[in-house]
Structure 1
Amino acid sequence: MSTDLMTAALEAAERGWHVFPLRPGTKRPALHGEAACTRTGPCERGHRKWEQRATTDPDRIRAAWSRAPFNVGIATGPSGLVVVDLDVPKDKGSADAPCGAATFGALCERAGHAVPTTYRTRTASGGEHLYFTVPSGVRLTNTAGTVADSVDTRAWGGYVVAAGSITPTGPYEALCGSEAVPLPAWLQTILQPPRKAPEAPSVALTGQSRRYADVALTNEARNVAAAQVGEREATLFRAARALGRFVAWGDLPRSVVEQALQEAGETAGLAASECRSTLRSALNWSITHNQIRRDAA
């Protein structure tokens, strides 16, 4: 098993993916934590976490995996990857629990695209990981439920368990797609962090802030209405997330934002039900997160 796991680590590194050891039979990093760091070796100049120590160096990989049958972790950010995690319901007895593969497939259909064919693995729990490369200079972070129900992503700050690793609940296995393909532009649009929101306006700037909100609403609605096939839902999603902060801060009523973007989405060719679903999830997320940011200010 140790030889097989070393081979899995080396094969991932040959693809340019940065690997690090996970504790045998688990999904947890095998590297020491900051509290136990001796500040020697790789950490001589300061503690280095798993993302910083992940490597493609075959000599380092052979040395590490010769010591124990470590499972293989892939640090997605340094590897230039975004991995879409299609989860399975934790409660498999519930017929109503969403399945990540189904919700992601529905999202792709609404976006006007087939589910991308790319390097894909089956997880120990029965879910799937879809691997995508990202353009140089694009720095995406992890998400949970942003794309769709039971669909998470791993990028900078995250890692996935590589094919060939084994846990008590089962193995991680490569399914199809010999190469990871570039992240689709419409999906990148959804995952791209929204423009940094300014601090909540002071009382003296309330009028100016509301004028800015009105302009933003007009511009976002125009962008949605003019969106092309394949970009429509992603553009609507981004617009709702961008405008949700103004709802959270009291500069725009939610009903006004919903009506404007609903009309723009239908003008672009989206079904009314698709618009409502996308607006509901995107606005809920944006309002919640921007309200938290304002309360913490």
Structure 2
Amino acid sequence: MSDVNKMIAAVLAYVGRGWPVFPCVPGGKRPIGRLAPNGLYNATTDIELVSRWWTSCPDANVAIPTGPATFDVLDVDQKPDGTGWPAFNRLKAAGMLPEPFMVITTPSGGLHAYYVGTDQPCGSLKRHRLDWKSQGGYVVVPPSEVDGRAYTLISERPHAQHQLNWSAVRSFLDPPKPVQAVRPHARRDTGVDHLAAWLAEKTKPGRNQALFWAACRASENGASEQELHELYRNMQFGHGFDERQAGRTVSDAFRRSNRRSA
């Protein structure tokens, strides 16, 4: 099969899975403006349209939006100034990474780990060379090439239907600084009531990290998983932070704390 036919076959296979696609410049990650002027927002499963796109530009790279309609991706970077492999291995050793349903090697020597899609926002841990592609993001997919090297499928495990909690990953690799008491006369403890009052005042991005830290402290002091869910009842939601995500964060913190104490 020629490279052109291989690319078109891959595009149609992605569409067949219900994953919308859009074209990126040959050898690159930037959307082709004349075909997809709005980038990932032009992604489609319309077979006639995607056929026209790749007939017009047969060697265009293929990209798929990430998020709840498709999948989330943990991107392990491999660059001249640093690599994400040490952070990735720390996460694996700590049991923070569920099994991905697909693993792709990237042209730079990095890795894309695919998980069930969620509505979490995209993120980046630049110091650790890790990126998170979810709602509002996209990834270039096989058999696309960058600098003459291809994205390559390493493994696919359809049974591995797991989500990855990016906030928990962030908190594990970059723990929030110890919290100072809000008022001089406040009790210096890590009980659920005290931490819930502190969390209720959190109204800006970073709330989920603070919730993960607080849940770990309360769990270490003997709080049950049910009690931990009281931590976020009075928190303000919005800006990519909702009650379902808060519940996942608390559960992840409880499991992590109990693994460490076992």
After TM superposition, the score normalised by the length of structure 2 is: 0.62
1:76-87 correspondence runs (5 A): 76-77=66-67, 79-87=69-77
Instruction: After TM superposition, give the deviation of residue 163 of structure 1 in Å.
Output: 0.6
Q: Percent of counterpart pairs with the same letter?
A: 24
Q: Is the 8 A contact 2:24 2:31 kept in 1?
A: yes
User: Does the CA-based 8 Å contact 1:2-1:70 persist in structure 2?
Assistant: no
Q: In 2, Cα distance between the equivalents of 1:26 and 1:228?
A: 49
- Report if the CA contact (8 A) 1:19-1:75 is conserved: yes
SS in 2 for 1:108: helix
More helix by share: 1
1:155 aligns with 2:134: yes
CA contact 1:17–1:76 (8 Å) conserved in 2: no
TM-score if structure 1 supplies the norm length? 0.56
* Deviation by residue 1:150-198 (Cα, 9 ceiling, x = unmatched): 221111221111110122241111111153843346x3552699xxxxx
Residue 21, structure 1, aligned to residue 23, structure 2:
yes
Q: CA deviation at 1:28?
A: 0.9
- 5+ residue gaps, structure 2, are 172-181, 188-192, 200-212, 236-253
1:1-297 equivalent positions in 2, closer than 5 A: 1-32=3-34, 49-68=38-57, 69-77=59-67, 79-91=69-81, 97=82, 99-111=83-95, 116-134=99-117, 138-145=118-125, 149-179=128-158, 181-184=160-163, 187=165, 190=168, 215-216=197-198, 220=215, 221-223=217-219, 225-226=221-222, 268=258, 270=260
Q: State the AA in 1 paired with 2:124.
A: A
User: Is the partner of 2:124 in helix, strand or coil?
Assistant: strand
Q: Distance in 2 between matches of 1:122 and 1:180?
A: 20
Gaps of 5+ in 1: 34-41, 43-47, 92-96, 194-205, 230-234, 243-263, 272-297
CA contact (8 A) 1:9 1:72 kept: yes
CA RMSD of aligned residues (A): 4.1
Over 3 Å counting, the alpha-carbon distance change for 1:76 and 1:168 in structure 2 is same
Count matched residues: 202
Deviation of 1:126 (Å)? 0.9
Q: Which residue of 1 aligns with 2:204?
A: none
CA distance in 2, matches of 1:226, 1:170: 51
Q: Secondary structure at the match of 2:56?
A: coil
Give 1:90 shift: 2.3
